[in-house]
Structure 1
Amino acid sequence: MTNDSQISTVTFPDRELLAALEPLPVGVRGAVWDLRSAPIGVDLDDVDAVVLPYINASEVLGELGRVPHLKLVQTQSTGYDGVREAVGETVAVASASGVHAAATAELAIGLILASLRGIDAAVRDQQEGAWRPQRHLSLADRKILLVGVGGIGKEIARRLQPFEVELTRVGSSARDDADGHIHGAQELVALAATADVMVVITPLTEQTHHMINTHVLAALPAGALVVNVARGAVVDCDALTAEVLKGRLKCAIDVFDPEPIPADHPLWTAENALITPHIGGNTSAFYPRVVKLLKKQMEAFARGKVPDNLVQRGPFA
């Protein structure tokens, strides 16, 4: 690590997170900055790295421009959309890859099961005291199209194995790995034509914005289920809404564009829609796992090593 990449002073969004990491390794100093008020215990001129808040981080990204010697930004989320644009290419960006993998994979499986097995409809029936048994689809024997093969995608695939599904995976480019073939994104329309369930778990980038577009959605068979646990804008949400309101597709979504979904949006009352409020990684598993990651990052800073999970290398190039 060069002097240009040496990190000595790190800010944390709240006192509780900093306390969970103390004592910090020798050579690393911590301070508190929530990016909404003045930092506590440090001048911004001295800050080398900033740990973003977990919730609503996108609302405060503009404040990063106030840090004149910023070298690294650490997210507490797997996604990092907007962060690189906010800081420019000279600043490193590290994600919380791995922290949310188990929890988000759990939710993806839960949304699939709830939608296919009609649990959402049963909850509505319960409010009326109505007993309406029906024959629903089983997850067993379904053809699953998994769009995204990163850390969370791998965990979703692993959890799907016991359910006896036919799994097809899609990545940015076609390749093979230890688990078989990964199709390229350019094959999405053709692959969608035979999918019963499409699960979206790919990062939001310029390349993946509206990756699941009108053409992909139109290619899905009638009755297919779209599950989005990635970022809202990976899917053309207007096009998805239109398909769901027509009754041609079903959706089970944890994310949307925009968020929060407007109160008068028709998807709220659509029978074929199941909505959770962006809670994929926000479980009891989050805090101990993010603390573990941050401890590892602080040790890397202290030892002059390159930190983990860099999605933009900045001074570590």
Structure 2
Amino acid sequence: MVSSAQQVWLPRQFGSLDGLPAGLGYARWDGRSGFPSDPGGVEFYVPPLVQDIRAISRPLALMTRLRAVQALSSGTDELRAELTGSAGRVTLCSARGVHARSTAELALTLMLASLRGIPGFVRDQGRGMWRAEVRPSLCGRSVLIVGHGALGRALEELLVPFGCAVTRVARHERESVRGPVFSVERLPSLVGEADVVVLATPLTPATRRLFDAAVLGRMKDGALLVNVGRGGVVDTAALVDEVRGGRLLAALDVTDPEPLPAGHPLRTAPGVLITPHVGAFTPSLWPRLEDLIRRQLERFAAGEELVNIV
């Protein structure tokens, strides 16, 4: 068992979190106020659940005894960059899998809303207009899922009732329960066959701007690009070029930059639906995150290897 000198910072949003292992000193921080204790004594850090990396990273340089960071997001690219050069070895863990079902649900929502023209109907409603039109269905469409981890698999399950022809792409070629997963090297030859392309991959050096002008240019006319992974996976300038003329549609929960500045061309481009990176945020997220934090702290207190190590 660890000594009481080992300090843990938890997000203030989890003030009711109970059942934590004894023998650790706990403090809670919201990312905005003053530090709740001396950062120099913190060994396990669970950053506040905010999207501002500057708030998350503010105490890192002072955490000279830091041993582990448990991110509350599946993507850890920005946090990993902030930890580069930290004194000593720091184990970074993600919340991989925790957000999958909620984010997959939003991905499906974006697909249906974009294909059926819901944003246009909502605008018409506010203008008092009634304009019926025939819009494409998701049923029977070909869907390419890029990134076949927990999120990609969860989305594929949701697509089953729609009878979609699903093609899977991931870093390595393998077999899945529902069929083959092709390697990312096959992407240029596969992307042009899909009616809908869903990006469900984390941002890494290998995936940064994976969808550049060349790959976007291979997508079929009228295809829909859905991004629920990370904004940096797409070359934003190249995407703007494709959607401005209406050749492609896009439904984005993540963008690059994020948030999009006021007046950014993606905000007003035809056929573009944007949500503000809310894929994971449903009430069911909190108990799953609490369970992850509890299990990780139990492992930390017992000196066991943590899970979801990045």
Interval of TM-score (by shorter of Structure 1 and Structure 2): over 0.9
CA distance in 2, matches of 1:310, 1:107: 26
* Cα shift at 1:20: 2.2
Give the aligned partner of residue 175 of structure 2.
Answer: 176
Matched ranges for 1:61-72 at <5 A:
61-72=57-68
Which range is displaced more, 251-260 or 301-310?
Answer: 301-310
The 8 Å contact of residues 65 and 86 in structure 1, kept in 2 or not, is answered as no
Unaligned residue ranges in structure 1 (runs of 5+): 312-317
Please, which of 7, 10, 19 is the counterpart of residue 8 of structure 2? 10
* Cα shift at 1:83: 1.7
CA distance in 2, matches of 1:289, 1:268: 33
CA distance in 2, matches of 1:26, 1:219: 56
SS in 2 for 1:48: strand
**Higher relative contact order, chain-length normalized (CA < 8 Å, sep 6+):** 1
- Given residue 41 of structure 2, which amino acid in structure 1 is its aligned partner? D
Give the aligned partner of residue 219 of structure 1.
Answer: 218
Q: Is it true that 1:284 corresponds to 2:283 in the alignment?
A: yes
Matched ranges for 1:142-181 at <5 A:
142-181=141-180
CA distance in 2, matches of 1:7, 1:136: 62
Give the aligned partner of residue 114 of structure 1.
Answer: 113
SS in 1 for 2:77: coil
The 8 Å contact of residues 19 and 294 in structure 2, kept in 1 or not, is answered as no
> Normalized against structure 2, the TM-score is what?
0.93
Q: RMSD in angstroms over aligned alpha carbons?
A: 1.9
SS in 1 for 2:260: coil
Which range is displaced more, 214-223 or 281-290?
Answer: 281-290
Give the aligned partner of residue 249 of structure 1.
Answer: 248
Give the aligned partner of residue 30 of structure 1.
Answer: 26
Matched ranges for 1:1-317 at <5 A:
8-14=6-12, 16-17=13-14, 19-40=15-36, 42-60=37-55, 61-88=57-84, 90-311=89-310
SS in 1 for 2:139: coil
- Given residue 44 of structure 2, which amino acid in structure 1 is its aligned partner? A
CA distance in 2, matches of 1:23, 1:193: 51
CA distance in 2, matches of 1:69, 1:57: 23
- Given residue 172 of structure 1, which amino acid in structure 2 is its aligned partner? R
SS in 1 for 2:69: strand
What do the CA deviations read for 1:221-269 (whole angstroms, capped 9, x no partner)?
1100000011111111111111000110000101111111111112222
The 8 Å contact of residues 8 and 25 in structure 2, kept in 1 or not, is answered as yes
* Cα shift at 1:155: 0.5
CA distance in 1, matches of 2:19, 2:109: 38
* Cα shift at 1:200: 0.3
The 8 Å contact of residues 28 and 298 in structure 1, kept in 2 or not, is answered as no
Structure 1 pair 57–93 and aligned structure 2 pair: CA distance change class (3 A): farther
CA distance in 1, matches of 2:307, 2:230: 22
What do the CA deviations read for 1:49-99 (whole angstroms, capped 9, x no partner)?
111122124123253121001111111111101222222372100111122
Which range is displaced more, 281-290 or 203-212?
Answer: 281-290
* Aligned residue pair count: 305
SS in 2 for 1:310: coil
CA distance in 1, matches of 2:48, 2:268: 32
- Given residue 80 of structure 1, which amino acid in structure 2 is its aligned partner? T
* Cα shift at 1:48: 0.4
Unaligned residue ranges in structure 2 (runs of 5+): none
- Given residue 49 of structure 1, which amino acid in structure 2 is its aligned partner? F
CA distance in 2, matches of 1:130, 1:33: 48
The 8 Å contact of residues 101 and 154 in structure 2, kept in 1 or not, is answered as yes
SS in 1 for 2:8: strand
Structure 1 pair 45–269 and aligned structure 2 pair: CA distance change class (3 A): closer
The 8 Å contact of residues 197 and 224 in structure 2, kept in 1 or not, is answered as yes
Identity of aligned residues (%): 42
